[in-house]
Amino acid sequence: MKKRNIAKFLRMLRKEGGEISSFSSSSLISEHPVVSSSSSANMNSLCKKSIVKIQKRLKYKFNDRIWLEQALTRRSFVLESISTQVDEQANQRLEFIGDRVLELAVARILFVKNSGDNEGELNTKLKYCVNNTTLATIATRLRLGKYLIVGKGEEMCGIRENQKVLADTLEAIIGAIYFDSNEDMKRVCKFVARHFKTYLKQILASN
Q: Which residues are catalytic?
A: 99, 171
Which residues, including other chains, have CB under 8 Å from residue 203's CB and lie 6 or more apart?
110, 114, 125, 128, 129
Distances (CA, A) of 18 to 14, 27, 49, 112, 153: 6, 15, 51, 44, 48
| CB-side neighbour CA atoms (13 Å) of 59 | 10
Of residues 136, 121, 135, 130, the one with CA closest to residue 206:
121
Measure the CA–CA gap between 16 and 32, rounded to whole angstroms: 25
**CB of 86 closer than 8 Å to CB of 79:** yes
Under DSSP, the state recorded for 183 is S
Neighbours of 22 (CB within 10 A): 8
How does DSSP assign 18-87, residue by residue? HHHHHS-HHHHHH------TTHHHHS-PPPHHHHHHHHHHHT---SSHHHHHHHTB-HHHHHHTT-S-HH
